Amino acid sequence: MTHHHSDPDLSPILNVRNLAKTKGDPQKTTFTLELPEMKVGPGQVVAIVGEPGCGKTTLLDLLSMTTASDRCEVFEIAAMTRGGTPDLLTAASASYEASLGGCRPHIGYALQSGGLLPFLNIWENAALPSQTFGRRVPSARIASLGTRLGIGDKLDLLPRHLTASQQHRAEILRSLVHTPSLALADEIPANIAPERAARIMHDIKDLIVEQSGCAIIAARSPSMVEEFADQIYTFHQSVDPTGNHCKSICFRADSPAAFDLRGANMIECEVLH
């Protein structure tokens, strides 16, 4: 396993502690996700590994601030200013709404699917985050990143005219064009060939290292990410005696033995999450 660790003297780009979210009806069934701690340094890639239903997408939704947490002791993003100095942005439960405007421009989120607006072409989709955040559209960057991701000749097409692999690379393009400090990518769709999926992940790693940001990528198996991930997190799940309330705790895996992805610690939970 080859890693490119960030300088230990540098402050983390992302610092999270005691993040929690519960979904469902407390009188029926609930799913609770907890992240006790996560720190990600400049140039690092963290892989979130687990089977469907463990809470990977819920965690990415929380980290992207598209979903509000129920509890969060620390949520900090170190964003680089135009002058090249870090600006520490903080968003915890008490100040979540007020923090959205400051933090969201420094986050890029590539969904597994459905993130591209169907009535806009790929170039227009890629320009949307910059327009939303009141920034100049980086036309040259859209063109260069598009070419680098292998879709440079597809930028004038609508999403429906792209293959599944090309659409996912367009999602990556849209999420990285505005040079976010924190890039998030949901699991690569299963219908994309493994070699293409590996290429996409390596492209994300290379781009993140170049812009001194950090990335968090979801995957089903550690074998998909062990070549480039600097840290790997997985989940421990438990269900209460009634079988109605499931808790999933995301933790850093220190060894391959921690991955019991189909074992007793990954109990099926009926709550949609």
The predicted structure's pLDDT at residue 147: 93
3-state helix, strand, coil in the chain (%, to 5): 30, 25, 40
**How far is 244 from 25, CA to CA, in rounded Å?**
10
More confident residue, 79 or 245: 245
107: DSSP letter: E
Q: What is the pLDDT of residues 175-229, one digit of tens each?
A: 999 888 899 999 887 777 778 788 888 888 888 888 888 999 998 878 778 788 8
Task: Please state the rounded mean pLDDT for residues 229-235.
Answer: 91
How many other C-beta atoms can be found within 10 angstroms of the C-beta atom of residue 78?
22
Q: If pLDDT is split at 50, 70 and 90, which confidence band does 101 have?
A: low
182-185 vs 214-219, strand pairing mode: parallel
Q: How far is CA 30 from the centre of its chain?
A: 23
Whether the per-residue pLDDT at 55 is higher than 80: the answer is yes
Confidence at residue 92, expressed as pLDDT on a 0 to 100 scale = 53
* CA angle, residues 92, 110, 131, in degrees to nearest 5: 80
pLDDT band at 2 (very low <50, low <70, confident <90, very high): very low
Q: Model-level pTM?
A: 0.82
pLDDT at 146: 94
Instruction: Please tell me which residue, 262 or 132, carries the higher pLDDT value.
Output: 132
Q: Return the bridge partners of 234, or none.
A: 251
Q: Determine the average pLDDT of the residues in 167-173.
A: 92
Query: Of residues 81 and 193, which shows the higher confidence score?
Result: 193
d(CA 48, CA 46): 7
Task: In whole angstroms, give the CA distance from residue 5 to residue 145.
Answer: 24
Alpha-carbon distances of 168 from 9, 45, 48, 95, rounded to whole Å: 35, 18, 18, 33
Is the pLDDT score of 3 beyond 60? no
| CA trace torsion 36, 71, 45, 148 (10° rounding) | 170
Q: What CA–CA distance (Å, rounded) separates 40 from 182? A: 9
pLDDT digits (tens, 9 = 90+) for 174-185: 999 988 889 999
Taking 50 as the threshold, does the pLDDT of residue 22 lie above it?
yes
